[in-house]
Structure 1
Amino acid sequence: MTVPLRVGIIGAGPRGLTVLERLVAHAVDAGSPLHIRIVDPYAPGAGRVWRTDQSPHLLMNTVLEEQTVFPDAACDVAHGGTGPTMAEWAESAPPAGRFPQRRDYGRYLAWSWEQITASAPDHVEIVHEPFEVTTILDAPSDAQTLRLSDGRCVDVDAAVLCVGHIPAALSDERTRWRRFARDAGLAYLPPGLPAETPVDTLRPGEPVLIRGFGLNFFDLQALLTHGRGGTFRPAPERGPLALTYTPSGDEPILLPGSRRGVPYRSKPITPAHPLPADPEQQLRFFTPETIARLPLHGDGLRFDAQLWPLILADLRSAWYSTLARTRPDVFAEDPSKLLGALATGVERVVAEGAAHESERWHIREERVLRAEVIAAEPHLVFTMRRLLRPLGDGSFPDRGSLRAALMEFLRTDLEESLIGPAHSPLKSLFPVLWQARALLKELVVDDRLAPASFIREVRGWFEDFVSGLCDGPPPQRFAELMALAEAGLVDFAGPQVRITTSRPGEPGAFIATSPAAPGSLRARALIDASSPANRVQQADDSLIRGMLDRGQLCAAAHDLEDGTRVPSSGLAVTGSPYRTLDAQARVHPRRYCLSLQLSSVQLGLAIAANPDTDAQTLRDADAVARAVLGLD
């Protein structure tokens, strides 16, 4: 009798599910018996993040058409076409641009689990173990022993870590906040999944400081308004998607603040998903062909000096092409002169490494645009400063002025999202950055960037810049936020927000201040809505923390040209199929990682696989499956 190959997949969320699907798909080529244990205390498929029992008020920030578990014809893997996309799975075709409930994605993932397990050939056995893996031990026989939270031990020949978000140890600052809240009888809710945040402890009518203005904030906003019985009603006389809010009386008063002081920009409405479908929105300058012409320096390409000028040219091209179609009155000369100057400038960047080429582009803009129009409508000019700092660099005379500026930001961004990339210069940047991030991700995977540039430039500023324009909430969340502010249930803490605590002898409170506005906001509750750090060195779980402490895993580090060694957020791994390294830099031949912990070698790990894109996530899962089965 042939001894079966035993595989353990730790984590049954989307990443673990894609590995399982690829193992089952390739099992026909392997031929020999295959025993797969997929270990997760949560339901397989949906996992912890996409649980099907979470609130219906929580939405995805991507549309139905952007999700798939199964590789399609565009994906460069064997045995594709094994299942539907989420849109194909849906019972009826929804209108374009619909943002599903998070639990609907969980239902799709749960259905995919059932489909994959039901389609497995007879020689493949799949078992879901509804427990945690607390430890992985290396057995003398080359097997790995998974110790489960119920006390049992399971031996496997190969282990795949798909653990997703892991608990993180609190920073010193957060530890102080927690201690202060406990001693003063206040509420401090640390970072976590909004669906698991104990918002029921927050009192109606009382202010709540919220540190962070990203997607977690909007989930919390929904739970504390919709989720407490309040009602949003359309107000079409005030504009498309405009809303009013009728409180239930159970809502707290929300006081969000963050480094930029504004939320990520809302997703534009467009029928093309994944983006782009319009040839006008294709990248023209930041392309594999242009990148191949760039000179190499030392240990790789430089992002700021070589790649960013190409992306910037595409951003300017998209902006002014859209502006030329929608506002031809803005141009004093033929807009094609400006676009031609961009092409000439890119050639200088490629051939000469022209460091200040973007300054020449700005001069060309001033010549081509009508001065009187720009003086009246300065927002029609493309400027990075305005994109990076939407509230500007100055301060406001009072908090009312800050509030008015925030409301204007929300209103104009919502209007731009509703007309979409084809008609909004601002939203035309969305498909450009979407594509640029995908291509940059391939360059990172192929190890073509200089480590210093990857750490200090891509990670240092570009990632956050792209997220601010591409990773925001559905447009309706902006409409809801404005309605809540008008109902007196939201105020804004401002940019560069600083959270401190009251002094001894004062009434206990958390205090938010911003250099952009006078005064302060005080509250007896603080929610830390920052996104999880996902830094393995801060891991506070039994599995990853324990393996790091025992030297079975190692946090990655980047060696820079000057001899500096910079720690990374992810695990030390090989290239694809991402075998793990131990503390002595030894490769484990049968242990793989496919999750957020690949951040040392990849970008955009939180992004789901998109149909029709040759998705990196699915190719990675395929490479792991083939390696496990010995097919390479």
Structure 2
Amino acid sequence: MPSPSPRTSTPPSPTSDAPAPPAPRSLCVVGAGPRTLVLLQRLGAHVAASPGEHPGLDVHVVDPHDSGAGRVWREAQDPLLWMNSRACDITVLPDDSVTGLTGPVGPGPSLAGWIAENRADLVRDAAAAGDDLLREEVLRSEPGSFVSRRLASRYLAAAWRRTLDGLPPGLRVHRHARTVVDVVDAVDDVDDVDAGPGGGDGDGRQLVHLDGTGEPLAVDVVLLVQGHLDVHPGPRERRAATFARAHGLAHVPPGYTSDQDLDVLVPGSDVVVVGMGLAFVDLVVRLTEGRGGRFEERPDGSLEYRPSGREPRLHAGSRRGVPYRSKIGYPSPTDLGLPRYCTASAVEARHGTGPLDLRADLWPLVVKELAGAHYRELFRTHRERTALAPAEFDARFSRSPWGSAEIDELIARAVPDPADRFDVTALDRPLDGWWGTSGDEVHERVLRHLEADRERRTDPRHSPDAAVVTALLSTYVVVAGLHAAGRLNARSTALDLDGWWHGFFSYVASGPPPQRLRQLSALARAGVLRFLGADVRVRPDADEGVFVASSASGPHEVRARGLVEARLPVADLERTSDVLLTRLRGRGEVRAHELLDGEARLSNGRLVVDGRGRLVRADGSVHPRRFATGAWVSGEAGAPAFARPGADAEVFRRADRLAADVLRAGRPAPPAPRAGTTPAAARRELPRGRGR
């Protein structure tokens, strides 16, 4: 779809008697995805609320991909790839539930609402284009549907147009379908601006260089919202690639599945796949349906896969050895009063105000929150499966620490069936402590787990599972707030937050749609997909010239002529292939989050920003006119780009605060203070090295 036309307006000409109006300020946003879409809404609200402070603002949005969608959600990708949230759970337009925003909120439709409002037009356009796949999708789409990414891209494009149409006259958006390759300080154009705490060198206009252009954009402020980026292969990936080239094998490194060349995977060949998250699901889709196979419903309601003959044989394993948990297939409980146990006040009461360890200090509160939600839902909607009065159970559960003998005894008495009890270890690592005698036994065990998980998560009789997901969402917000307040210690901040913790959250709460697990099951029964088990290891065998995969779940080994590392690239500023970040890093103008933990130096590879989102240089100083937000900012790996309707989503407040900070950075300074005074802005703020 063509990008929407830039919104432009002509400022009134000054009269001979009136002073010339202030020059418009300018901002360059690098990236045009959903986060930028929401930011534009909040910039517009701030400008409309204080027109005298912002007489004009030019916003240059630079991204070669679709407006509103960016790279990940662009329309031009495989039509078989889906979103992993229901249409009714996605919005980029705030509603009346959202609090704490500048200016009035103009409610807009969710993805599901937009499809319903525009169904006839969407069907007509798809039919005119001869796109039967899209036409059928639109016709059958319901609020609970998991729609294709290209249909979601059309929603984002419509939301972009709606946002631009609602901007105040003084805010003009200029769209550049290019790539930013460098940003430098304009040494001959240094304004006196209010940099705020942390100001200093570079406090002037910014020159933004675009690929294929001679003249840079000269702007006052730059904001990086680049989303997910690629990285150069690390040592392990390079060794695997070198071995593959030497022996004529196929190797697909970590990457975004929609962008990868999968033609190297030969039909009928054995391929080891390491990783069983969302990238794995997309990979399987492209290698099966994407190669002409098809799924058919049997008369008994089961799903059968009809191979095309062009599929490779996939042998999949991972650390856990099972796919991500299925998304809940029915409405989740929303009136559980969460969180109750894992709150900021509870953390302070238990641990004071010192540094917190995510695993040692917060994890027990998280698990109690999940278990508490599980049992409240069980007692509320499945009373016949409990043996104690709900009020008595709740009171005793609330006053007992998680993991204590008191809680164990209480649960054993109140919940007779062990299948109704919450077990976080079984939830997280279902294959731990289990050993199969053969590859077939391991495969069948994982297949049974997959099918049982899908059945539970689509059956309201297991609604405590949905309560656990809701509780996990609430604790995720609490942990993010503690991180933003600087409460997490070095190891938790550098390693656990964007690693183990975000991985657990994604596995439990952000898995694939239930239908995808039905398809994986059908593929497994058709012999196209085999499961290897947990803690998979892959080694090169130079004698045979193959990759050899083994598992901690059984004695079996698989020899394969292909290896796919089915995961997204890990953010790493040292290895990024992004030209802009590479140049900024080379000059010491950005740095990766690196902390000392005793003698150890820890890093999560992501950008460091201060408390206002401003980029921190290698020497620890803050650039007053350069900001960053998104997946490559430390502490923001799990921050959602979308919001859930009616949930008072933090997405909008985060964007509102960032918009205020960005506008403040481009504002002219107040008059200089009288001699002998020390303005607050002159006091230097040390960078806190974390996301907002």
How high is the TM-score relative to the length of structure 1? 0.89
**Offset, 1:423:** 3.2
Match of 1:395 among 431, 435, 439: 435
Q: Secondary structure at the match of 2:342?
A: coil
Structure 2 residue aligned with 1:534: 571
Map of 1:472 onto structure 2: 511
- Please give the root-mean-square deviation of Cα atoms over the aligned residues, in Å: 2.6
Cα gap change, 1:292/1:97 in structure 2, threshold over 3 Å: closer, same or farther?
farther
Is the partner of 1:556 in helix, strand or coil?
strand
Q: Distance in 2 between matches of 1:134 and 1:627?
A: 24
Q: 1:625: Cα distance to partner?
A: 2.0
Pairing partner for 2:77 from 54, 57, 65: 54
Partner residue in 1 for 2:643: 609
CA contact (8 A) 2:592 2:604 kept: yes
Match of 2:526 among 484, 487, 502: 487
Deviation at residue 339 of structure 1 after TM alignment: 3.3
Q: How does 1:201-600 map to 2 (within 5 A)?
A: 201-235=264-298, 237-238=300-301, 242-272=302-332, 276-277=333-334, 279-280=335-336, 282-291=338-347, 293-298=349-354, 300-324=355-379, 331=386, 334=389, 337-346=392-401, 357-370=403-416, 374=418, 379-420=419-460, 423-455=462-494, 458-459=497-498, 461-504=500-543, 506=544, 508-560=545-597, 562=598, 565-576=601-612, 578-599=613-634
Does the C-alpha gap of structure 1 residues 384 and 565 become closer, same or farther in structure 2, counting only changes over 3 Å?
same
1:108 CA drift (Å): 1.4
Distance verdict in 2 for CA 1:19–1:336, change over 3 Å? closer
The answer to whether residue 53 in structure 2 is matched with residue 14 in structure 1 is: no
Counterpart in 2 of 1:145?
207
Query: What is the Cα deviation at residue 335 of structure 1?
Result: 6.0
Verify: 1:98 aligned to 2:145, yes or no. Answer: yes
What is the rounded CA distance, in whole Å, between the counterparts of 1:570 and 1:369 in structure 2? 45
* Structure 2 residue matching 1:403: 3-state secondary structure: helix
1:38 positional shift: 0.7
What whole-Å deviation, never above 9, does each CA across 1:569-621 have from its counterpart, x for those lacking one? 32121113x0111111111111111111222x446225523333343332222
Structure 2 CA distance, aligned partners of 1:565 and 1:543? Answer: 26
- Please state whether the residue corresponding to 1:590 is helix, strand or coil: strand
1:392-442 Cα offsets, whole Å, 9 max, x none, are 32321001110111111011101111114x634444311111222122222
The aligned amino acid for 1:115 is R
- CA distance in 2 between counterparts of 1:71 and 1:326 reads 32
Contact between 1:12 and 1:44, CA under 8 Å: does it hold in 2? yes
Give the distance between the partners of 1:440 and 1:203, measured in 2 at CA.
45
Given the superposition, is the C-alpha separation of residues 129 and 528 from structure 1 closer, same or farther in structure 2, using an over 3 Å criterion?
Answer: same
Q: Which amino acid aligns with 1:469?
A: V
What is the distance in 2 between the residues matched to 1:329 and 1:27? 57
> Deviations along 1:354-398, whole A, 9 cap, x unmatched?
xx744442233334444xx54xxxx43322221222113232100
SS at match of 1:547: helix
Question: Could you say which residue in structure 1 is the equivalent of 2:11?
Answer: none
Report SS of the residue matched to 1:596: coil
Q: What letter matches 2:407 in structure 1?
A: W
Q: Which amino acid aligns with 1:366?
A: A
Q: What amino acid is aligned across from residue 234 of structure 1 in structure 2?
A: E
Tell me, in whole angstroms, the C-alpha distance in 1 between the residues paired with 2:164 and 2:389: 60
| Distance 1:194-1:540 versus aligned 2 partners, 3 A rule | same
Structure 1 residues 581 and 280: alpha-carbon distance in aligned structure 2, compared to 1, 3 A threshold: closer
Offset at residue 80 of structure 1 (A): 4.5
SS at 1:22 equivalent: helix
Letter in 2 for 1:293: A
Partners of 1:359 and 1:337 in 2: how far apart? Answer: 17
Q: What is the DSSP-based 3-state SS (H/G/I as helix, E as strand, rest coil) of the residue aligned with 2:539?
A: strand
Paired amino acid for 1:251: E
Aligned with 1:441: secondary structure? helix
Task: Specify every segment of 5 or more residues in structure 1 that has no aligned partner in the other structure, as ranges.
Answer: 347-355
CA distances 1:193-248 after superposition (whole Å, capped 9, x unpaired):
1111112332222222211100011111111122122221223625xxx3111122
> How many angstroms apart in 2 are the aligned matches of 1:472 and 1:295?
33
Q: Which moved more, 1:565-574 or 1:356-365?
A: 356-365
CA contact (8 A) 1:445 1:602 kept: no
State whether residues 309 and 358 of structure 1, in contact with CA within 8 Å, keep that contact through their aligned partners in structure 2: no
Aligned-partner Cα distance in 2 for 1:12–1:244: 40
Distance 1:384 1:100 in 2: 31
Alignment partners' CA distance in 1, 2:509 and 2:223: 31
- Give the direction of change, closer, same or farther, for the CA distance of 1:331–1:75 in structure 2 (3 Å limit): closer
Distance of aligned partners of 1:341 and 1:455 in 2 relative to their CA distance in 1, 3 Å threshold:
farther
Give the Cα separation in 2 of the matches to 1:50 and 1:526. 27
Q: For the structure 1 residues 359 and 387, does the alpha-carbon distance in structure 2 shift closer, same or farther, using more than 3 Å as the test?
A: farther
Determine helix, strand or coil for the equivalent of 1:597: coil
2:170 corresponds to which of 123, 126, 137? 123
Q: Structure 1's 609 and 451: CA in aligned 2 closer, same or farther, altered over 3 A? A: farther
**1:493 is paired with a residue of what secondary structure?**
strand
Determine if contact 1:281/1:432 at 8 Å carries over to the other structure: no
Aligned residue for 1:589, secondary structure, equals strand
What secondary structure sits across from 1:435 in the alignment?
Answer: helix
- CA deviations on 1:517-571 (whole Å, 9 max, x unpaired) are 22211222222111220232332221112101111111123355x5755323321
* Alpha-carbon distance, 1:295 to partner: 4.1
Which of 76, 81, 91 is 2:105 aligned to? 81
Deviation of the 1:13 alpha carbon: 1.2
- CA distance in 2 between counterparts of 1:456 and 1:206 reads 37
Provide closer, same or farther for how the CA distance between residues 425 and 113 of structure 1 changes in structure 2, counting only shifts above 3 A: closer
What displacement does 1:311 show? 2.6
% identity of equivalent residues: 33
Q: What SS class does the counterpart of residue 517 from structure 1 fall into?
A: coil
Structure with greater Cα Rg: 2
**3-state SS of the aligned residue for 2:340?**
coil
Matched residue type, 1:146: V
Cα distance in 2 for partners of 1:302, 1:358 equals 20
Counterparts of residues 170-181 of structure 1 (less than 5 Å): 170-181=233-244
Instruction: Label 1:195 to 1:328 Cα distance change in 2 as closer, same or farther (>3 A).
Output: same
Q: Tell me if the contact between 2:431 and 2:553 (Cα under 8 Å) persists in the aligned partners.
A: no
Shift of 1:483: 0.5
Matched AA of 1:363: E
Which residue of structure 2 lines up, in the alignment, with residue 157 of structure 1?
220
Contact 1:416–1:427, Cα closer than 8 Å, also in 2: no
For 2:427 and 2:475, the matched residues in 1 are separated by 17
Worse-superposed segment, 383-392 or 460-469: 460-469
Deviation at 1:449, TM superposition (A): 3.1
Instruction: Give, in whole Å, the separation in 1 of the partners of 2:336 and 2:171.
Output: 47
Tell whether the 8 Å contact from 1:96 to 1:271 is kept in structure 2 after alignment: no
Q: 1:125 to 1:425 in 2, by over 3 A?
A: closer
Is 1:167 matched with 2:230? yes
* Contact 1:571–1:597 (Cα < 8 Å) also in 2: yes
TM-score by length of 2: 0.81
CA offsets 1:484-541 (integer angstroms, 9 cap, x no match): 111111111221111112223x2x3222111222221122222211122023233222
